[in-house]
Structure 1
Amino acid sequence: MPIDIETFESAPDDRLQHDGETNADRVMEFLAVHPDKAFTQSEIREATGVKTGSISVVLSRLEDRGLVRHRGTYWALGEADDVAAYTSFAQSTQTANDRFGPEKMDEWLEHAVEEDLG
């Protein structure tokens, strides 16, 4: 499905995945299966299939949100509360997508109201 050029130019790379699953989702799913282990960036990249040029950015963004932890050259799943909130949101989104189908950005934008900040 095509996307508009504004989305193409402004969306983060991890949100421009055609299959609907983001690189962040892949990393979180992998780490969630191994909550008692920490991995190097290379190990996470190999296990998830995230491109070499993207894995560093994905891990940094997840760390900024408290979803992963980083010490030395190792990365691990974040604290339980932060991860639970992310998982709950992801599960809610998946349930809604399963029931109603995925959101279509073009349809959403047709009904969005621009906020006047001036």
Structure 2
Amino acid sequence: MPIDIETFESSSEDRLQHSGETNADRVMRFLAAHPDQAFTQSEIRDATDVNAGSISVVLSRLEDRGLIRHKGNYWALGEGDEVAAYASIVESTRAANDRFGEEDMDEWLEHAVDDEDPE
């Protein structure tokens, strides 16, 4: 996911190292956004920017956990209760972002409690 140049310039390297979103999160978010479709591994890889060397392992692990399904060359969102809960959270987040705008990490950090500050 791209960031604006101001965030790039003003953020520390540590902050930009890891967004907290895993490859599995990216795949699940993508498939949850398209619950009525199935995709090839390369389509999922291209849509999620997961490294070509990692996508197969990510898909296999998600399938082992019952979160996605696989048939032939295609992969789709799973059908279990965990998947329904995940899809519901994704849809709720999308609706909230559409209505109120996406969260601004810098704004959150301004108001975050610093556990190391002995007050």
Using the size of structure 2 for normalisation, the TM-score is: 0.58
Task: Flag the structure with larger Rg.
Answer: 2
The alignment status of 1:33 with 2:33, answered yes or no, reads no
1:1-118 aligned at under 5 Å gives the runs: 1=4, 2-3=7-8, 4=11, 5-11=13-19, 22=26, 24-30=28-34, 32-34=35-37, 40-42=40-42, 44-45=44-45, 48=47, 50=49, 53=52, 55-56=55-56, 58-59=58-59, 62-63=62-63, 66-70=66-70, 75-115=75-115
Which contiguous aligned blocks of 4+ residues in structure 1 show a shift greater than 6 angstroms?
Answer: none
Whether contact under 8 Å (2:69, 2:76) holds in the other structure is yes
Structure 1 residues 8 and 51, CA gap change in structure 2 (3 angstroms):
same
- Where structure 1 has 5 or more consecutive residues not aligned to the other structure, the ranges are 16-21
What root-mean-square deviation, in Å, do the aligned CA atoms of Structure 1 and Structure 2 show?
Answer: 3.7
User: Paired residues, what number?
Assistant: 105
- Where structure 2 has 5 or more consecutive residues not aligned to the other structure, the ranges are none
**Identity percentage over the alignment?**
51
